[in-house]
Structure 1
Amino acid sequence: MSDLTAFMGGRLFDGHDWHDNAAILVEFGHVCAILPRSEIPENAEKIDLGDGLIVPGFIDLQVNGGGGVLFNNQTDLAGIRTICEAHAQFGTTALMPTLITDTAAVNVAAIAAGNAAVQARVPGFLGLHLEGPHLALARKGTHDPALIRPMDESDLARTVEAARTLPNLICTVAAETVTPDQIATLVEAGAVVSIGHSDASAEVAGAAFDAGASMVTHLFNAMSQMGNREPGVVGASLANDRVFAGLIADGIHVHPTSIEIAHRAKSGAAGRLFLVTDAMSQTGTDLTEMTLNGRKITRADGALRLADGTLAGADLDMIDAVTFMNRKIGVPLEEVLRMASLYPAEALGIEETYGHLRPGALASFVHLSGDMDVQSTWISGERVWQK
């Protein structure tokens, strides 16, 4: 068999531009060219995926679980593998298993599991997202208030070490509970610091951004809102062109008008709006109940909620987020696809090899039907899921 493989489909989106009658030429798991079908080398194996679209694989930076596994409840290599496999059927080719606020011991186990996933080369594993425990009680959301606490020296040292050993690490912290010096230390170690579950003023949030925080976690949710005299975390993040913002686009977490406003504010900025699922263990299953820190979460009417009605993650996958943004919000398809691939890659600083299909990128892509149904998912040129 040749080392070269040419993948063909109806239309190809490379993350920047559309191509017709073209093929992706892949060698050793990376894209080496996009070229007309008539110029495919004779020694290349040809794989014709048929009609539809070939688009960059989706990148999800906030994934609490999938396939029946909640990462908090199974912080091991098998749990990470199950989560990655569950999301592949929805077009996700790279994701960050996300640990919701928990004990220090669970945090240690999660980091160990992440390092094990690196060694095992788990397809789709991109790194870890530690969401808490250093958050604001006033904006706790579904996070257990008994487990929320300030960041001490041991927390900082452990997280710094994780940032140095993992391929990528996101730390969600509240701007008012973690100091600018701590943020700067984390960023210097290689972590991406995201502000979330924060009731901070715009001034305090701005100081966190100045210290190196470059992202906000699920924009609008669990953060101080924009008012006429106090812009809050929402206003500070929308006004800062360097700050990326994750968005749960399900029509439940954020009103469509607010989504439109945020998208306009971030269009043309260096820091863009990108899509996340905030998915729990239900993804890829028919589960209707799950537990987090001993509390029951119920799945109904497209949402996940605690007994008191608090939203607890999202009943969402990436292809549904893409179609919602395109069909309900009216964002052009190519821009929505960037929100699901290129922009999260840029938020992590890994856009050289992720988030697009231009030469040098990993050959991770999704084949979609004309109706936007996932037909197959490919990671580094290898098929990981087929309908």
Structure 2
Amino acid sequence: MKAIINGELFIGNKFYKGRVLIIKGERIVDILSETELDSIYPEIEKIDANNNYVTPGFIDLQLNGCGGVLFNDEISLNTLEIMHKTNLKYGCTSFTPTLITTSDENIEKALNLVKNIKNKGDYGVLGLHIEGPYISLTKKGIHNPKFIRKADEAMIDKIVEAGKENVTIVTLAPENTDKMIISKLNKAGINVAVGHSNATYEEVKEKEAFGISLSTHLYNGMSSFGHREPGVVGAVFDSDIKAGIIADGFHCHYSAIKSAIKIMGERLYLVTDAVAPVGTDMEYFYFEGNKVYYKDGKCFGEDGTLGGSALTMDAGVRNLVRYCDITLEEAIRMATLYPAKAVGIENEFGKLQPGHYADIVFLDKHLNLKKVIAKGQEV
């Protein structure tokens, strides 16, 4: 057992001084006052937080790659291990490895890989995010058009068979997808996200009832909001749909993020959409056949199309506080509790609470990362 002392603990909705977090194995088991510690746990090992903020580990529901690797390029345990180790440097303790538009063969390979991981927590893996190939050509972004297609029952059945333990999110364009396919994924416990979609407001609202609960990278890869044609953005605003947002300053203006926060509240959560250059000095890479450059923090194709991001979760939290006029508490929730709630794992992730996984981040008063604990182990 271990005790985290001398920190400002983010418990519930606020930071508390004078509290101690008790960890046993992979889990948080107790929270008590510092005055009680020595009498209840006299011999316990202590971890000094040095007056830093102590928060839950960050959760990223859209991560294509980092540390020099892309999940699409090499669908392997080694790739997931590199991604996890890189994530931990930036406070991200759990993530959904994201497979963008590709062949059925690669989708099956990813399904089999994740199904055969005995302890996904060792790799920080929550389950797959399959982003495409059932998307709109018009809103494809960097996705390879040769693989974009309508969903077929055989492949959907394989995704459903893999189950919610292995597939967390499927992103698709509702205007190109039969409502019964959306319903089948939803009934299997898989979160269906609208994304890379040119749907009208009406098309999204029609399919929402069949199980669309999420939206992938709000504003990006979707029909924009207009006062006569609200599009996908308007449908998301006018719904219970939860959405990820990329707070890197490139994917959308910070003012647009502020507006989304005001409209959506806890339905909006931080994602990175990160790609290979994160944690490296590489100048370019290939994303499903497209050359993508990395310069000055921005990832872009030869035609200027954004190709993922180089954002990290800790930087995203800082950006939300600095540029989006929200409290640190709300920024932390957007990186922890809100993504956990979005995919229904808030009973074990996203909070400093007894029974939850001991995924913990220490931030100094400038919001720089100081220490990470993943499943009870100091990184």
Match of 1:264 in 2: 262
Q: Do the aligned partners of 1:63 and 1:95 also contact (CA within 8 Å) in 2?
A: yes
Written as runs of structure 1 = structure 2, the 5 A alignment for 1:115-264 is 115-119=115-119, 121-166=121-166, 168-240=167-239, 242-264=240-262
Deviates more, 1:306-315 or 1:31-40: 31-40
1:11 and 2:8 matched: yes
Q: Do the aligned partners of 2:144 and 2:289 also contact (CA within 8 Å) in 1?
A: no
Q: What displacement does 1:179 show?
A: 1.5
Match of 2:26 in 1: 29
2:212 alignment partner, SS class:
coil
Match of 1:89 in 2: 89
Q: What displacement does 1:15 show?
A: 4.5
2:109 alignment partner, SS class:
helix
Q: What displacement does 1:9 show?
A: 3.6
1:371 alignment partner, SS class:
coil
Q: Structure 1: which 5+ runs fail to align?
A: none
With over 3 angstroms needed to count, the CA separation of the structure-2 counterparts of 1:120 and 1:365, relative to structure 1, is closer
| Alpha-carbon separation, structure 2, partners of 1:84 and 1:61 | 13
Opposite residue 350 of structure 1, the aligned amino acid is I
Q: What displacement does 1:48 show?
A: 1.2
Aligned identity (percent) is 38
Please list the CA deviations of residues 199-237 of structure 1 after superposition, one character each: whole Å capped at 9, or x if unmatched: 001111112221111000000001011111111110010
Q: What displacement does 1:117 show?
A: 3.1
Q: Do the aligned partners of 1:273 and 1:339 also contact (CA within 8 Å) in 2?
A: yes
| Alpha-carbon separation, structure 1, partners of 2:254 and 2:353 | 32
Q: Do the aligned partners of 1:162 and 1:169 also contact (CA within 8 Å) in 2?
A: no
| Alpha-carbon separation, structure 2, partners of 1:263 and 1:107 | 33
1:111 and 2:111 matched: yes
Q: Do the aligned partners of 2:80 and 2:123 also contact (CA within 8 Å) in 1?
A: no
The alignment's TM-score, normalised by the length of structure 1, stands at: 0.94
Q: Do the aligned partners of 2:66 and 2:279 also contact (CA within 8 Å) in 1?
A: yes
| Alpha-carbon separation, structure 2, partners of 1:165 and 1:55 | 26
Please list the CA deviations of residues 306-346 of structure 1 after superposition, one character each: whole Å capped at 9, or x if unmatched: 10000000111001110000011111000000000000000
| Alpha-carbon separation, structure 2, partners of 1:225 and 1:165 | 33
1:245 alignment partner, SS class:
strand
Please list the CA deviations of residues 113-158 of structure 1 after superposition, one character each: whole Å capped at 9, or x if unmatched: 2123344653311111000000011100010111100001111111
| Alpha-carbon separation, structure 2, partners of 1:266 and 1:164 | 26
1:287 aligns with one of 282, 286, 301? 282
Q: Do the aligned partners of 2:99 and 2:131 also contact (CA within 8 Å) in 1?
A: yes
| Alpha-carbon separation, structure 2, partners of 1:116 and 1:307 | 37
| Alpha-carbon separation, structure 1, partners of 2:29 and 2:84 | 26
1:338 and 2:333 matched: yes
| Alpha-carbon separation, structure 2, partners of 1:276 and 1:153 | 30
| Alpha-carbon separation, structure 1, partners of 2:276 and 2:3 | 36
Please list the CA deviations of residues 269-321 of structure 1 after superposition, one character each: whole Å capped at 9, or x if unmatched: 6xx10000000011111111110122211001221011000000011100111
With over 3 angstroms needed to count, the CA separation of the structure-2 counterparts of 1:326 and 1:37, relative to structure 1, is same
| Alpha-carbon separation, structure 1, partners of 2:263 and 2:120 | 41
Opposite residue 44 of structure 1, the aligned amino acid is I
Q: What displacement does 1:70 show?
A: 0.3
Aligned-pair Cα RMSD in Å: 1.3
Q: Do the aligned partners of 1:118 and 1:125 also contact (CA within 8 Å) in 2?
A: no
| Alpha-carbon separation, structure 2, partners of 1:277 and 1:160 | 26
Q: What displacement does 1:165 show?
A: 4.8
With over 3 angstroms needed to count, the CA separation of the structure-2 counterparts of 1:175 and 1:118, relative to structure 1, is farther
1:323 aligns with one of 298, 303, 318? 318
The alignment's TM-score, normalised by the length of structure 2, stands at: 0.96
Please list the CA deviations of residues 54-101 of structure 1 after superposition, one character each: whole Å capped at 9, or x if unmatched: 111000000000111100001011111111111110000100100010
Q: Do the aligned partners of 1:58 and 1:92 also contact (CA within 8 Å) in 2?
A: yes
Q: Do the aligned partners of 1:101 and 1:147 also contact (CA within 8 Å) in 2?
A: yes
| Alpha-carbon separation, structure 2, partners of 1:163 and 1:292 | 27
